[in-house]
């Protein structure tokens, strides 16, 4: 029998191999351990934690530290931190090394006022020299690769993404993820894939593209358009883990969608407890149900219950009602 041959990595982050080109984006409130691990099984090639406040890490706040939970099967795992203070970022990064992340990422893309307004997240884009200092300090001090997730700039008058990208690449950064919108745009307007292509042409480290990937076919379209090494999927992956299998939603049988809803809900309850797990699951469930024809009374009951037994009963009713159009209404198609 010939020896097993390791698959060829799609790209390297420092010395960390990444297998596959589709990646679940770090999303506050969505990319938690239950959903990340599900998406990894479906084909997402990296696990990014939601962004965590460096100040909360240094204060050892349980909520912040729990955001860094991960399963061994999720590796490679990327811890994403945010802050405006260079020294705090370094101390926080050093303090989480005992949790054994594979990669450390600095969030330079969050557009929320409470983050960007105090100079963290996308606020860092206004000072490329500070970006360079942060990446240099962390890459020299940490034994794991340091990466950054950026936007195109603060607003339409300051598209300085190439300067920021070079600040990352020239000062020890191992990868750049580019959300192809400005802070001012937030999630409106079209993502500028040409800008991702420009970053890829300007730096020698891997580049991940992000923005307007809603369908499985968009993954390869972005790669072909930009030559990026990987594609990061945020809103298009909510309630749609099949995108990481390169499958469109309409290709997934209703029975498989229902089975995945059940599995995801059970994972949320197992991790957070019954009440909190089901409440936190609702934002996922809304998106899952858009792919099904669902009785209005069943939909309302599933979105309001805090009992797993009741949820399972409603889900089973949905399975039984499948194919009875007189009792059902179709949800709006996913955006």
Q: Which of 89, 15, 23 is nearest to 51 (CA)?
A: 89
Q: Are 296 and 329 in contact (CB under 8 A)?
A: yes
Please tell me the distance from the alpha carbon of residue 270 to that of residue 280, in angstroms, as a whole number: 12
Q: Please report which helix (H) or strand (E) contains residue 330, including its range.
A: strand 329-330
Q: Is 228 a catalytic residue?
A: no
Of 16, 27, 108, 110, the catalytic one is 110
Helices (H) and strands (E) in the chain, counts: 13, 13
Specify whether the backbone of 36 is left (phi greater than 0), alpha (psi in -120 to 50) or beta. Answer: alpha
Q: Are 14 and 222 in contact (CB under 8 A)?
A: no
Q: Please report which helix (H) or strand (E) contains residue 257, including its range.
A: helix 254-272
The residue written with tokens 């949790």 in the block is 99
The residues assigned a catalytic role are: 110
């Amino acid at each position: 029998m010939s020896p097993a041959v390791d698959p060829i990595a799609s790209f390297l982050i420092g010395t960390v191999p990444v297998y596959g080109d589709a990646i679940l984006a770090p999303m506050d409130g969505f990319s938690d351990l239950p959903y990340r691990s599900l998406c990894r099984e479906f084909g997402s090639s990296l696990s990014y934690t939601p962004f965590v406040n460096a100040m909360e890490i240094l204060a050892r706040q349980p909520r912040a530290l729990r955001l860094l939970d991960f399963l061994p099967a999720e590796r490679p795992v990327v811890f994403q931190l945010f802050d405006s203070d260079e020294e705090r970022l370094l101390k926080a990064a050093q303090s989480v090394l005992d949790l054994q992340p594979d990669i450390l990422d600095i969030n330079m893309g969050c557009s929320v006022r409470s983050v960007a307004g105090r100079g963290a997240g996308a606020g860092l884009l206004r000072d490329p020299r500070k970006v360079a200092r942060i990446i240099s300090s962390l890459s020299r001090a940490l034994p794991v690769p340091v990466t950054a997730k950026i936007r195109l700039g603060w607003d339409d008058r300051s598209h300085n993404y190439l300067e920021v990208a070079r600040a990352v690449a020239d000062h020890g950064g191992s990868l750049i993820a580019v959300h192809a919108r400005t802070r001012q745009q937030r999630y409106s307007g079209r993502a500028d894939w040409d800008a991702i292509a420009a970053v890829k042409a300007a730096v020698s480290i891997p580049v991940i593209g992000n923005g307007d990937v809603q369908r499985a076919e968009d993954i390869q379209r972005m790669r072909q358009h930009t030559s990026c090494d990987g594609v990061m999927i945020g809103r298009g992956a909510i309630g749609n883990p099949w995108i990481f299998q390169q499958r469109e939603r309409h290709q997934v049988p209703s029975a498989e969608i229902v089975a995945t809803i059940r599995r995801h809900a059970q994972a949320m309850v197992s991790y957070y407890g019954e009440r909190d797990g089901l409440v936190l699951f609702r934002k996922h469930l809304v998106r899952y149900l858009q792919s099904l024809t669902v009785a209005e009374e069943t939909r309302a009951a599933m979105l309001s219950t805090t009992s797993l037994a009741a949820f399972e009963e409603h889900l089973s009713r949905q399975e039984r009602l499948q194919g009875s159009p007189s009792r059902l209404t179709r949800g709006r198609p996913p955006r």
